[in-house]
Amino acid sequence: MEEEMHTDAKIRAEIGTGCSPRGPGCSLRHFACEQNLLSRPDGSASFLQGDTSVLAGVYGPAEVKVSKEIFNKATLEVILRPKIGLPGVAEKSRERLIRNTCEAVVLGTLHPRTSITVVLQVVSDAGSLLACCLNAACMALVDAGVPMRALFCGVTCALDSDGTLVLDPTSKQEKEARAVLTFALDSVERKLLMSSTKGLYSDSELQQCLAAAQAASQHVFRFYRESLQRRYSKS
């Protein structure tokens, strides 16, 4: 990936945040993450991507309702709450996307007949919301100590009308874009876990976006690592 990534430039020591000055349309926005900020859940994280911010809490492995019990693995549940109002159809659809991604990496078989619940609260939406939700969920799962096969992250790409690729777009950029693609990738094989697209794009454009997302995921994972290192080295 040619684009210059700045995610690792500075990491704020105290709360484990990093930020990147926005490059000429192609770099990621500045990142920030705080873990273990809620006392009731088993794990929690707040994730910031630019002005987009999502708060995540993970409960589990805990007792499961008999009706939802699965005898050979944990029941994974994702609840996404919008900033205002009640969850609607769009939230339901995102919930499913996030749950499917989590299910692919969480080692549920280690905790049969339990429930793992991920609750995501949108704090502010300024573009790339689904990617931010995925990142917040991953950090919260890590904080809760849920065993996972790999970490995962979400990256959103937008293609505007003349085919320029924008990573981690803002909501304005998303609105103007011809197509918006969100991918979830795992940290071990860098393989695709989930993709959700909207709009018109060609075959080669999809490949191009995927390559860009894979490159960007390296930086996200590096940010994960550093943010965690900060946290644990301190205590």
Partner 1 sequence: MLKSKTFLKKTRAGGVMKIVREHYLRDDIGCGASGCAACGGAHEGPALEPQPQDPASSLCPQPHYLLPDTNVLLHQIVSAWRLGTWASVASSLRLPGSLETYVEQEQGENANDRNDRAIRVAAKWYNEHLKKMSADNHLQVIFITNDRKNKEKAVEEGIPAFTCEEYVKSLTANPELIDRLACLSEEVNEIENGKIIFSEHLPLSKLQQGIKSGTYLQGTFRASRENYLEATVWIHGDNEENKEIILQGLKHLNRAVHEDIVAVELLPKSQWVAPSSVVLQDEGQNEEDVEKEEERERMLKTAVSEKMLKPTGRVVGIIKRNWRPYCGMLSKSDIKESRRHLFTPADKRIPRIRIETRQASALEGRRIIVAIDGWPRNSRYPNGHFVRNLGDVGEKETETEVLLLEHDVPHQPFSQAVLSFLPKMPWSITEKDMKNREDLRHLCICSVDPPGCTDIDDALHCRELENGNLEVGVHIADVSHFIRPGNALDQESARRGTTVYLCEKRIDMVPELLSSNLCSLKCDVDRLAFSCIWEMNHNAEILKTKFTKSVINSKASLTYAEAQLRIDSANMNDDITTSLRGLNKLAKILKKRRIEKGALTLSSPEVRFHMDSETHDPIDLQTKELRETNSMVEEFMLLANISVAKKIHEEFSEHALLRKHPAPPPSNYEILVKAARSRNLEIKTDTAKSLAESLDRAESPTFPYLNTLLRILATRCMMQAVYFCSGMDNDFHHYGLASPIYTHFTSPIRRYADVIVHRLLAVAVGADCTYPELTDKHKLADICKNLNFRHKMAQYAQRASVAFHTQLFFKSKGIVSEEAYILFVRKNAIVVLIPKYGLEGTVFFEEKDKPNPRLIYDDEIPSLKIEDTVFHVFDKVKVKIMLDSSNLQHQKIRMSLVEPQIPGISIPTDTSNTDLNGPEKKKIKLGK
* Angle, CA 8 vertex, CA 4 and CA 11 arms, to 5°: 145
Q: Select the span of 33-41, 103-111, 168-176, 194-202 touching partner 1 (CB under 8 A).
A: 194-202
Is the bond into 24 cis (omega within 30 degrees of 0)?
A: no
Helix H segments across the chain? Answer: 89-105, 129-144, 171-176, 203-234
Report the residue number, 149 or 198, with the smaller CB distance to partner 1. Answer: 198
Question: How many residues bind partner 1, per CB under 8 A?
Answer: 8
Report the residue number, 21 or 87, with the smaller CB distance to partner 1. Answer: 87
Report the residue number, 92 or 172, with the smaller CB distance to partner 1. Answer: 92
Inter-residue contact 213 to 182 (CB < 8 Å): no
* Angle, CA 131 vertex, CA 203 and CA 220 arms, to 5°: 95
Q: What is the distance between the alpha carbons of residues 204 and 207, in angstroms, rounded to a whole number?
A: 5
Residue 90 near partner 1 by CB under 8 A: yes
Please, which residues bridge with residue 52 across strands? 49
Q: Select the span of 16-24, 90-98, 182-190, 227-235 touching partner 1 (CB under 8 A).
A: 90-98
Residue 89 near partner 1 by CB under 8 A: yes
Task: Check residue 150 and report its DSSP letter.
Answer: S
Q: Select the span of 18-26, 65-73, 143-151, 198-206 touching partner 1 (CB under 8 A).
A: 198-206
Amino acid making up residue 216: A
Residue 202 near partner 1 by CB under 8 A: no
Minimum distance from residue 117 beta carbon to partner 1 (Å): 18
| Strand-strand pairing, 152-159 and 165-167 | antiparallel
Among the listed residues 83, 92, 175, 191, the single contact to partner 1 using CB under 8 A = 92
Minimum distance from residue 90 beta carbon to partner 1 (Å): 6
Q: Which residues bind partner 1 (CB under 8 A)?
A: 89-90, 92-93, 96, 198-200
